[in-house]
Amino acid sequence: MSGESDFDEALSPLRWRAGALELLDQRALPAEERWLAYSDYRGVATAIKDMVVRGAPAIGCAAAYGVALGALARAPLKEVIAELRATRPTAVNLFWALDRMAAVAAAGGGAEPLVAEARAIHAEDLAACRAIGDHGAPLIPDGVVLTHCNAGALATGGYGTALGVVRSAHRQGRRLRVFADETRPFLQGARLTAWELMKSGIDVTLVTDGMAAHLMQRGEIQSVIVGADRIARNGDAANKIGTYAVALAAREHGLPFFVAAPRSTIDRAIPDGAAIPIEERDPGEVTHLGGRAIAPAGARVRNPAFDVTPSRLITAIITEVGVARAPYQDSLAALCG
Ligand code: MRU
């Protein structure tokens, strides 16, 4: 399952070719399918910061390959890992993957075991996503499922978490349609979720973020599924900004709200969502759209990239080893072994 063709079939946004990391440039989608090649770990760090590659599990995979590139170039691995750690603060998969790479580096053996570990992290994430799909598909009621941001193949080693569940349900011939929030300000829903679902022949309808509550009120949505960037011990889950508002609306309308994530997204060191670091990104993402100003020059701006959905609003957390339900303190501990 670690063959290149398996990754390709799963729409992986990363590939390791001839000692270099290739990333599908997600900033260029949907207009252009452009692959960029990296042989320097610093380039990988910049690619993570600039969102060439994004989505918690994909960031972890890219960072792992970044360490492998550092090792191949005989760069000091402590510096390599420190630079990759400083790219994005919220997705815990980044730190999880770098800790795994650091442990292999500490065992010695040069670059080869580090390349093998990065490939293993990538392959395991793809397998985890498929298992999440299997566990989650039976939970999603027929009809329309709303998703926010992109927790799809593009955000992972391939296949997707939230969209992995949708993919599995689709493969089983279930009658499921997806409503995709456009996801201001970076438009992962419009640019990426719509693109990857259309490419896979899955029924998707694009809506703006402000439409979700209205469509729930009208009975046009039956469930919600999203991914996560970091899940605290009590089940509070950080995900793309706007997710919390969707969860509140789902609760008001009595709709199930599912979070799908691999165990590498669960941060056992953090008791609750208040302790999750929230990335603030460049105000230009809010004031500009496609390079054009959409706000007055000099306007004061906030741009928190994530929010935290309290676990009381979450119906279930779907992982690769099973489904956790409240009380999450206990169910997540059991799933994490
Ligand atoms: O800023 P991004 O695009 O990296 O944010 C991505 C998300 O919020 C995803 O929903 C999350 O990482 C889960 S991806 C399987």
Per the listing, tokens 């500009």 go with: 288
Query: Of 301, 297, 296, 298, whose CA–CA distance to 286 is shortest?
Result: 301
Q: Name the more confident of 57 and 108.
A: 57
Residue 307: predicted pLDDT: 98
Q: Whose CA is nearest to atom 15 of ligand 1?
A: 151
pLDDT at 10: 73
Is the model's pTM score more than 0.85? yes
For atom 6 of ligand 1, the residue with the nearest CA is 55
β-sheet with 20-24: strand ranges across: 14-17, 20-24, 35-38
Closest atom of ligand 1 to CA, residue 227: 13
Place of tokens 């165990």: 263
CA distance readout (Å), 202 to 23, 148, 182, 205, 273: 24, 16, 17, 10, 33
Query: Which of 285, 319, 281, 244 has its CA nearest to residue 89?
Result: 281
- Measured CA to CA in angstroms, residue 18 lies from 11, 142, 200 at distances of 19, 44, 28
Reply yes or no on whether the pLDDT at 196 is more than 80: yes
Q: Which residues contact 191 (CB under 8 A, 6 or more apart)?
A: 26, 29, 30
Q: pLDDT tens digit string along 229-264?
A: 999 999 999 999 999 999 999 999 999 999 999 999
Ligand 1 in contact with 170 (CB < 6 A)?
A: no
Sheet holding 237-240, edge to edge: 230-231, 237-240, 306-309
CA 77 to chain centre: 26
Instruction: Look up residue 154 and give its DSSP letter.
Output: G
- How much is the mean pLDDT over the chain? 96
Cis omega (within 30 of 0) on the bond before 185?
A: yes
203 as an active site residue: the answer is no
161 lines ligand 1 (CB under 6 A): yes
State if residue 56 touches ligand 1 by the CB under 6 angstroms criterion.
yes
